[in-house]
Chain A
């Protein structure tokens, strides 16, 4: 008896459902889905199914539900945090080729996408309509824009009015039923733009990592491309000095992009060549608040003028400089804006430019605690003999400065040996300690799920109730979060 009899039968059945060319059990192919950059334990699926339409998704999921096969959805060709690694075998349902941009409404400022639409694809298409998606920092061009929204990757533009990219979803449940959030389920509604209508609403599915169902369509917010921009830079020597200016700037509802980078991250994203990063890092200020004043088509210079004036007033109050250039970075404004507004375009993804590998740790915090948490990260790194100079730091105010997203990139050499073990040990230790100090991890990948849910009381219990209703057989990405 073949030790793969079950798999073989299932592969056969699935091929019968959606075609021979769309179901794979070749070991090399399976291996490609088994691991990513994270420390989530590599595990292989037993098969990979490529679905390109909602109908195919429904058929596959119904089959999987009937036969209790775990289903791990993958919308992105790249995976960084382990959400797409199957914890219990089963199948990967690869949606990367379900990648149509279904509709762009430039008046409602929405784009309706299928899960496989990438950041590069959508940004190029939107540009033709005078629109742009607010992307996270240097997003990978092959990353699914829907995955990015689901992962709550913060936008560089922390505007209230454009907050929460994902407006509504069409989601296939494990039963094969299709469920809509917002108004999308009503035939008369073109775009389904009301985020909340009935309970459950869209927010429940953000951060769910496909554990409640598979999203096959979503409306995401886009914005009009500004007619004019002016990038300005505020250097800081001490991180402690950054919090108040951020607050003040955001509380005056000013500007588009607003983010803080340390010298290493800043150098990493703007260096023309990988080998220039170290030198550039030494020339850039320790911390830079990047602020972009943007204006639409009507009297743009006037808008930028008053915002800049207001920014400089804040500068006087908090004793900081507002600069149009930075030493060591000629042509910075011209170079930086496309980096901020488009997916990464160089061949080596920015995370890997400095040392080849990168482990990320990110969480939400109140703005006044960024120095405290940064010091904690440095201290933990030192305990693990990790050079703090190799940690890149990025802080992103969100929701008009209500809170700040803190992102630490541990640049290391990569590989599978002792270095990896050390990096993993540091990562786990840092995560645990930061959480115990109140760093709020809202997107829960890998070990973070257990670290958070064992502390957060009844939250996981209620989620489990919802899970049991949405997915009674627990086939949807089992083993993730608290499921």
Chain B
């Protein structure tokens, strides 16, 4: 039985008439399942709840829901796998949460090398079909059980971004606009052309819908995308051994080989990566830290703490390491691996790299290279705490020399009580290192004390740090709840005005995930 006032009742009944009673709820217990996720904090500011959850079946259902929203004036937001709910959590009354859980279809077009996917198709699902045909789709740190569409609309970053780039896998999309009309982009927009190409026609709409973090549903609801598939030199199916959590996957060594190096200085590390970029080797190259290696591989908390703080190798590297993981993939032939290995070893020697010892590389086989392909270690932090990280975008490998110390310093202002994780940081270089997303991790916990520290000390510091000239560095949790309009933008930029006016024109009633990206209410107040 619907609760709430007359408007609430009306919204409920109309939603039922669109999708059927079975697929709408305003039940208080069900509502409780739509606000927590790794970045969610439980302070009063974040204690917002949606009022309705609705499960559309297809694009037309979503159109009707959005048109209804305009008629009855209620706000709505959408998620795919729900990993970043804080970017979509309710901020206003009558909030309808659109969960496209029933929209999980996948179609692979081999010749065009794309997968046409709906919002809740997972990366593992898409990969399972793609691999059979010799392709794969990259996976972000969210894990393979996360939404493929969501991951590509947000960041679009993958462990394999070294080769396959960041944020450019979308070869066309279908989206319901805030007025309920359908926008199709790329070749999909032209009847008869079908899905195959993502640009244009004319000015490329992806430039409007896809910033570093996507539009977060503020310009409507994306209902389908075509995602570019990359070549996959591996087997048609992954073959496993053992039972969780002792399960392993061995990728064939004639197609995948991993190498792990520690460099004496960050400069040498970067120089070596530049050489790898120049030599165009590597299917994946990641600047990793001790925390990454240990968190990915340890199977228990015990093992994690033991390795991080008692194992001499990791202890030493935590203090003075600059670590790189290189995964060579045999795209062209097995000989590519032999060649790239030779080049890599030469570079490693030139830059005085220390290769990890065999007992460590053997241990690391539990998770490498398979997690670069089908990441199954999501919430690497969560086993031992909870997510915290300082993240930033960099403009080149050399820029790591700027960003790493800044990020580490920011974390270290709170170390203790954060753990001593050393002076290294992680980077996802993209396009052979032209740009990178970087992270410096720290572990929190689920406790009032931790939340108090983050909410009332760290986050305010984060916003203060954003004003620092030239830096876009800040402590996570960075959430849509916290982005204050204009706070992240360069000084003097007309960007806020442009965003606000575009938003206002496309969504005059400000119903599509209001307050995110640009908070129109605040903007209009001036």
Give A residues with C-beta under 8 Å from B.
105, 107-110, 152, 160-164, 167, 173, 175, 177-181, 183, 185-209, 211-212, 221, 224, 247, 251-254, 296-299, 302-303, 305-307, 309-310, 313, 364-368, 399-403, 435-444, 449, 452-453, 455-459, 461-463, 465-466, 468-470, 481-482
Contact = CB atoms under 8 A, between A and B. Distances in A.
A189 B470 contact: yes
B177 A313 contact: no
A462 B196 contact: no
Size category of the B interface is 35 or more
A62 B186 CA distance: 33
B194 to A, nearest CB: 7
B506 A299 contact: no
Contact of B228 (A179, A224, A313, A402): A402
9 contacts: A105-B396, A177-B494, A188-B402, A203-B204, A299-B342, A444-B200, A458-B181, A462-B205, A470-B498
B395 A452 contact: no
Nearest to B171: A402
Given A191-B395, A207-B202, A299-B339, A254 B470 contact: no
Given A400-B113, A402-B113, 15 more contacts: A107-B274, A107-B398, A108-B433, A183-B472, A185-B489, A187-B469, A188-B402, A189-B395, A197-B211, A198-B499, A203-B199, A206-B203, A366-B111, A465-B502, A481-B203
Interface in B388-427: 393-399, 402
Contacts of A206: 199, 203-204, 207
Contacts of B207: 181, 196, 199-206
B112 interface: yes
Contacts of A207: 199-204
Q: Closest 3 interchain pairs by CB?
A: A188-B470, A204-B207, A203-B207
A150 B418 CA distance: 47
Given A173-B494, A183-B393, A201-B211, A162 B190 contact: no
Nearest to B346: A298
Contacts of B114: 402
B137 interface: no
A164 B168 contact: yes
A200 B517 CA distance: 11
B379 interface: no
Interface string B196-221: 11011111111111111001000000
A199 B181 CA distance: 21
B395 A192 contact: yes
A94 B76 CA distance: 47
B18 interface: no
B331 interface: yes
Given A160-B165, A298-B279, A459-B184, A212 B332 contact: no
Contacts of B376: none
Interface in B342-396: 342-343, 346-347, 393-396
Interface of B: 111-114, 134, 163-168, 171, 177, 181-187, 189-194, 196-197, 199-212, 215, 228, 230-231, 274, 277-280, 331-333, 335-336, 338-339, 342-343, 346-347, 393-399, 402, 431-435, 469-472, 488-490, 493-495, 498-499, 501-502, 505-506, 517
B interface SS class = loop
Contact of A252 (B231, B434, B435, B470): B231
B112 A456 contact: no
Nearest to B207: A204
Given A162-B431, A438-B194, A457 B278 contact: no
Contacts of B469: 186-188
A199 B112 contact: no
A179 B244 CA distance: 52
B432 A194 contact: no
A436 B339 contact: no
A303 B181 CA distance: 51
Nearest to B499: A199
B212 A175 contact: no
Contacts of A463: 202-203, 205
Given A163-B165, A459-B183, A463-B202, A198 B402 contact: no
B331 A253 contact: yes
Residue of A160, A173, A207, A253 most packed against chain B (CB within 10 A): A253
Contact of A306 (B193, B279, B336, B435): B336
Contacts of A190: 395-396, 399
Nearest to B333: A310
B343 A299 contact: yes
A108 B193 CA distance: 37
Contacts of B210: 196, 199, 201, 203
Given A108-B395, A183-B393, A459-B201, A366 B493 contact: no
Contacts of A160: 163-165, 230
B493 A179 contact: yes
Contacts of A201: 206-207, 210-211
A183 B200 CA distance: 23
Contact of B339 (A303, A444, A459): A303
B509 to A, nearest CB: 15
